[in-house]
């Protein structure tokens, strides 16, 4: 039996039509009758909290999951729920949030894998596309050498090269530089002109109003808000994202910043140099959050990894409470009182197939014994952090890989705190998580400051840097470019210094 599709203002039928989709995992009903249409040339911003069902919905469209009921149509043709190859052949492509590359292959082979045709023609088409985007990647490089941002560029190039009719972008800008974001937005504008439909999943609400034509908000497995972008305000979306039983918490944007004068220095770098950065100098005081801003590739993560003992120090000193810890191995760094939450929780932050409790306590319990574990003690520690951090799970024995991204991130932060650090380095702590979990992590950071723990906050989200930091330093091409305090901490100042234009005190 055929189905009738509603036409848009231009008299077009949907390029993607999702009708009454239901999907459950055991007794947990994740999609509860989702219905939505995306027309040619539309950019639908799909937003919602972790666990709202966004990933399950797009994976159903891609054929990864088979819904219990409902229908999906691509350009009027019903999509069979079988395997991803069927969706790809229909013209649907998903650019995942977590890059899925073959690390031992080159960038070029990763991009062109699965394409038919002459390799020379494919290479030429790829070169033209990259030139249009203004993106520079060495195609002969091994994929294992790529940064998170570069891996994401490879995934986006895969989708664009396929000339998909429906392109699904899952948090595509979470690790991109400003220039790369602008290039992507220009590409999306050109896709709109070509009548390609884009489903744009993001937690960055400012991007919604910059690039989307329509908005769909998911909550508890349903589309609860849907319409043209002009029908909504940021405040409406924030309110729509909050749970029904939400009670207002104190998240004032302007906070009293910690006064560092008179406070004791916790950590200091003196003429510190390593791979990707040079001659870095700064001091962090007890109870202070020092924001470290800069574009991707500025050397921020390389600096953090070197402090943490993962990479070699070329020159300079790192002092913790006046003690020289330069060049120590990671295990000793942790014992001394420094811990690090890495930017890529999926690849390096969690043990995906182990329990929530094991992930939280792994650093702490290993320091107590190399052979025997006190499981009662483990349950006590894990349970305390699960409660304090409001980690949503079926229990501490649940496999951490099955939790939402925000809850995984809370567990990773909890593991770092079990070692009672004096300095915590947080590298992109809210990347790819929803507004509710973001607020919880902000509370955790403020609680750390209240306990006199020093925090080095690395973030590409300038609003986040402005809200949480007591001081801000910016990196540009591997060096500290500027330092901002008090009223100098503004988005304009930080962005300018991140691009090499100093607008505040030189560092």
367, 402, 419 - which closes a domain: 419
Q: Are 85 and 160 in a shared domain?
A: yes
> Which structure tokens are listed for 341?
């939450």
Who has greater pLDDT, 258 or 184?
Answer: 184
More confident residue, 319 or 343: 319
Q: Give the residue ranges of DSSP H helices in 113-244.
A: 119-133, 148-161, 178-193, 205-211, 234-241
Task: Calculate the alpha carbon distances from 16 to 37, 38, 75 in Å.
Answer: 6, 5, 6
φ, ψ for residue 245, nearest 5 deg: -100, 20
Same domain, 25 and 92: yes
The pLDDT score that the predictor gives to residue 20 is 94
Is 383 within a domain? yes
Last-in-domain residue among 241, 264, 291 = 241
Whether 120 and 230 map to the same domain: the answer is: yes
Q: Long-range CB contacts (< 8 A, 24+ apart) of 298-302?
A: 298/474, 298/475, 298/476, 298/477, 298/478, 298/498, 299/475, 299/477, 299/478, 299/479, 300/427, 300/458, 300/475, 301/147, 301/343, 301/427, 301/458, 302/274, 302/275, 302/276, 302/277, 302/478
Stated pTM of the model: 0.56
Residues 331 and 474 in one domain: yes
Percentages (nearest 5) of helix, strand, coil residues in the chain: 35, 25, 40
Q: Are residues 444 and 391 in the same domain?
A: no
Q: Is the pLDDT of residue 260 over 60?
A: no
Return the higher-pLDDT residue of 327 and 10. Answer: 327
Q: Is the pLDDT of residue 277 over 90?
A: yes
The more confidently predicted of residues 339 and 135 is 339
3-state secondary structure of 215: strand
Mark whether 429 and 320 lie in a shared domain. yes
Whether 78 and 220 map to the same domain: the answer is yes
pLDDT band at 107; cut points 50, 70, 90 = very high
**Residue 218 pLDDT exceeds 80:** yes
Q: Is residue 343 part of a domain?
A: no
Instruction: Give the residue, 193 or 226, on which the prediction is more confident.
Output: 226
Q: Report if residue 170 sits inside a domain.
A: yes
Where are the alpha helices (H) located in 264-351, listed in sequence order? 300-307, 330-336
**The domain boundary residue, chosen from 241, 268, 286:** 241
Question: What pLDDT score was predicted for residue 109?
Answer: 93
Alpha carbon 101 to chain centroid distance?
17
Q: Alpha helix (H) ranges present in 162-299?
A: 178-193, 205-211, 234-241
Q: Is the pLDDT of residue 245 over 80?
A: no
Residues 26 and 168 in one domain: yes
How many CB atoms neighbour CB 439 within 10 A? 16
Predicted confidence band of residue 85 (pLDDT cuts 50, 70, 90): confident
Q: What are phi and psi of 255, to 5 degrees?
A: -110, 155
Q: Which domain holds residue 323?
A: 249-337+421-507
- Is residue 114 located within the same domain as residue 220? yes
Average pLDDT (462-479) is 90
Same domain? 368 vs 301: no
Question: With 60 as the cut, is the pLDDT of residue 159 above it?
Answer: yes
Cα 434 to Cα 49, 404, 429, distances in angstroms: 5, 10, 12
- pLDDT(310) > 50: yes
Mean pLDDT to the nearest integer, 21-29:
86
Confidence tier at 158 by pLDDT (50, 70, 90): confident
How many domains, in total, are found in the chain? 3
pLDDT of residue 497: 83
Pairing of β 454-458 and β 214-219: unpaired
Provide the CATH number for the domain around residue 476.
3.40.50.300
């Amino acid at each position: 039996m055929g189905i009738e599709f509603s036409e848009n203002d231009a008299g077009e039928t949907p390029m993607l039509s999702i009708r009454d989709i239901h999907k459950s995992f055991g007794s947990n009903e994740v999609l509860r009758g989702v219905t939505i249409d995306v027309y040619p040339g539309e950019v639908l911003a799909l937003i919602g909290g972790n666990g709202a069902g966004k990933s399950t919905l797009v994976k159903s469209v891609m054929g990864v999951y088979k819904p219990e009921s409902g229908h999906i149509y691509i350009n009027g043709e019903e999509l069979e729920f079988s395997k991803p190859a069927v969706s790809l052949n229909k013209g649907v492509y998903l650019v995942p949030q977590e890059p899925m590359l073959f690390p031992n292959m080159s960038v070029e082979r990763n991009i062109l894998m699965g394409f038919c045709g002459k390799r020379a023609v494919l290479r030429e088409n790829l070169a033209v596309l990259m030139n249009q985007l203004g993106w520079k990647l060495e195609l002969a490089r091994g994929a294992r050498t790529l940064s998170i941002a570069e891996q994401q560029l490879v995934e986006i190039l895969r989708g664009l090269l396929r000339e998909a009719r429906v392109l699904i972008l899952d948090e595509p800008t979470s690790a991109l530089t400003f220039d790369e974001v602008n290039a992507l937005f220009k590409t999306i504008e050109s896709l709109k002109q070509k009548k390609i439909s884009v489903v744009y999943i993001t937690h960055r609400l400012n991007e919604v109003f910059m690039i989307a034509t329509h908005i769909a908000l998911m909550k508890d497995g349903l589309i609860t808000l849907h319409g043209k972008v002009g029908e909504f305000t940021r405040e409406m979306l924030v309110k729509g994202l909050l749970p029904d039983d939400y009670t207002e918490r104190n998240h004032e944007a302007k906070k009293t910043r910690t006064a560092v004068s008179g406070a004791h220095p916790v950590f200091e770098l003196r003429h510190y140099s390593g791979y990707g950065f040079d001659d870095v100098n700064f001091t962090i005081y007890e109870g202070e959050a020092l924001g470290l801003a800069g574009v991707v590739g500025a050397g921020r993560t390389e600096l953090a990894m070197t402090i943490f003992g993962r990479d070699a120090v070329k020159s300079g000193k790192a002092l913790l409470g006046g003690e020289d810890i330069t060049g120590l191995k990671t295990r000793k760094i942790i014992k001394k009182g420094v811990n690090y939450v890495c930017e890529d929780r999926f690849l390096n932050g969690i043990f995906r197939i182990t329990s929530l409790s094991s992930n939280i306590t792994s650093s702490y319990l290993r320091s107590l014994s190399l052979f025997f574990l006190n499981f009662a003690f483990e349950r006590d520690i894990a349970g305390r952090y699960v409660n304090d951090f409001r980690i949503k799970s079926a229990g501490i024995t649940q496999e951490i890989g099955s939790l939402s991204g925000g809850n995984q991130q809370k567990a990773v932060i909890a593991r770092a705190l079990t070692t009672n650090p004096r300095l915590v380095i947080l590298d992109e702590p809210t990347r790819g998580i929803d507004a509710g979990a973001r607020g919880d992590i902000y509370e955790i950071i403020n609680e750390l400051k209240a306990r006199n723990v020093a925090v080095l906050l690395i973030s590409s989200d300038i609003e986040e840097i402005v809200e949480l930091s007591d001081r801000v330093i910016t990196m540009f091409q591997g060096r500290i470019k500027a330092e901002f305090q008090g009223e100098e901490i503004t988005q304009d100042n930080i962005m300018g210094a991140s691009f090499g234009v100093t607008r505040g005190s030189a560092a």
